[in-house]
Chain A
Amino acid sequence: MSSIIELKNLTKIYREDGNEVVAVDNVNLQIQKGEFTAIVGPSGSGKTTLLNLLGGIDKPTSGQIIVDGTDITRLSFSQLVDFRLHNIGFVFQSYNLIPVLTAKENVEFVMFLQNRPQSEREKRSTELLTAIGLAERMNSRPSKLSGGQQQRVAVARALAPRPKFVLADEPTANLDSRSAENLLEIMEMLNRNENITFIFSTHDPRVMRKARRIVTLLDGHIDNDTVTG
């Protein structure tokens, strides 16, 4: 079975006025298609750094990140932008929707960047927003939506370009427990029904419980890797 992500001896060292911080320390990890994996660990253990490296928005100090056979550490800045656009969906802790666009326009925006035709954007964004239960709020701006609703729109946006996998850095950190649970149910549903690979970091034990694989980081290295479901 071939993995869609393979990390080989991945290391990220931050240097800041003489101080060195080894944020990710020689990590080896494989992720298969269709996984629903949580990255957990205490604050400062390197979760965000690892996800940024996986998502190609940060460059490692050494090691390889192989996505579907391509070593993305060798890509140039602009190749990486294009790679992210077509292969990776992002969900951020603080939603990060474009405030001046409606929920639907936010979902369509990535497809617009991909130069997809208007009809396709229209169809897919409606489909996705319906799937996450926001069909009625499609034309609302983010400020008119609750945090949970905004994060669901963010998930829809991440899925819109049909990425190979979705990265979510603490997607529930800003949500109340009910919204967090609801978001996780939707992610799980998308994972099961459409075989979408999710990799998310979290502090929240209830969120961890939903994961089918839990990778625990400690001081930048993998402390534990358990398949639960």
Chain B
Amino acid sequence: MIRLAWKNIWRNPTRSLIILVAIAIGVISGSVFTAFYNGMIYQRIDDAIANETSNIQIHAPSYLENKEITDTIANIHKILPLLDTITTLKSYSLRFKTMSMLSSANNNSGIVLIGIDPIQEKKTTNIWKHIVQGQYLSSEKKNTLLIGEKLANKLKIKLRSKVVLTLQDTKGNLISAAFRVSGIYNTGNTGFDERVVYATWHDIKNLFPDSTLLIHEIAIALQNDKHTSNYAEKLKISLPFADVKTWKELYPEVGLMADYTQYLQLIYMTIIFLALSFGIINTMLMAVMERTRELGMLMAIGMKRTKIFQMITYETIMLMGSGTIVGLFLTYIIIQILSTTGINLASFAKGLNQMGLSAMVYPVLTLREYLQTIELVLVAGFLSSLIPARRALKLTPSEALRKQ
């Protein structure tokens, strides 16, 4: 039966080829569009994890809400041994993190000051890879800062410029200190680059001579993001006195974008298949009309209605299916090529960077999305076959046979 349906499709090769090509083009455009969007979002997620949040962060329970300098993480000596038990741990970084103000001769700007151990941070995040001028921080050099290019432009400062850092101490008094810019970074996310300034622990400690080391944040990088929620759950249970959050919880909008891609593909493909269904229905109706006498003969010699229905349905699904397979195959090739070369959106780079998106896009299509397309075709193929199949069943053998 399947063989007969397949042969029937090729009775009118031109007509079938046209519809097949239309389906293939629809599938390719839908899939490449989805892959492109995926690439953009995944890049954003990778960047966010690599440069900004890491996979998991730990704070004091009140820190994220208040961002007070006094909201330091308690019982660090209990947390660190626990982190060392994570088998897929890449590294972690203990950070001082507070709101602060950075002033140059020309201008000033509110910033987030992050105090780090340069060696630990280098193992945990990729910020060191994004240095565009000067150098990464080092404990040897006193009072140096690593700032974003965007902020440097805003404050009209250059490498080695002098700046003044102003912040509150633990008692609420304002303290100021002079620093020098030793490095400028650019992550491609202008929002981040405008806000985040790095200093060494060493220099921060000197600002607070009578306090112990103030740790507000532990950023935990894992070797693979798929372990994130698993370990986050474990840490949440083991550390009831701390606030454990995954990058998705920290950047919910980025997490949402990731979930949204799946719906986007579904919606986009549904629209494409809806449009293509009209073409298919029309083609199959024509095929049924042309074969009226033959269908009458088949009914006369004893082919059941269910079998005739089945035959028309198979033909429709196979016609759509073969277009889809061709489309997905070409999509696979296109994506293999584009995912190595990348698509350069340099001309739109500014706008994209403002949204935290990168100018180079490497399209990605997951197996799940390939499968989703196939599922959709089966459903669309079946639905499209209903009208032509119904038309075929309406024929009565004696009348169908009378047709010349």
Contact = CB atoms under 8 A, between A and B. Distances in A.
A81 interface: yes
Nearest to A86: B302
Given A57-B398, A98-B4, A100-B8, A85 B301 contact: yes
Given A57-B397, A58-B398, A100 B11 contact: yes
B303 A101 contact: no
A200 interface: no
B156 interface: no
Contacts of A81: 299, 302-305
Interface string A79-102: 001111110001010101011110
A132 to B, nearest CB: 18
Contacts of A96: 293-294, 297, 401
Contacts, number: 65
A84 B300 contact: yes
Contacts of B391: none
B142 interface: no
B123 interface: no
A94 B398 contact: no
A55 interface: yes
Contact of A94 (B293, B299, B305): B293
A184 B257 CA distance: 76
Nearest to A58: B398
B307 interface: yes
Interface in B255-303: 293-294, 297-303
A75 interface: no
Interface in A154-168: 157-158, 161
A84 B7 contact: no
B302 A85 contact: yes
A166 to B, nearest CB: 11
A110 interface: yes
Nearest to A55: B300
Interface string B1-38: 10010011011000000000000000000000000000
20 contacts: A57-B398, A58-B396, A58-B398, A78-B304, A81-B299, A81-B303, A82-B302, A83-B302, A84-B300, A84-B302, A85-B301, A85-B303, A92-B297, A96-B401, A98-B294, A99-B11, A100-B4, A100-B8, A112-B1, A158-B301
Given A57-B299, A81-B304, 13 more contacts: A57-B300, A57-B401, A58-B396, A81-B302, A84-B301, A85-B301, A85-B303, A94-B404, A98-B4, A100-B7, A100-B10, A101-B4, A157-B301
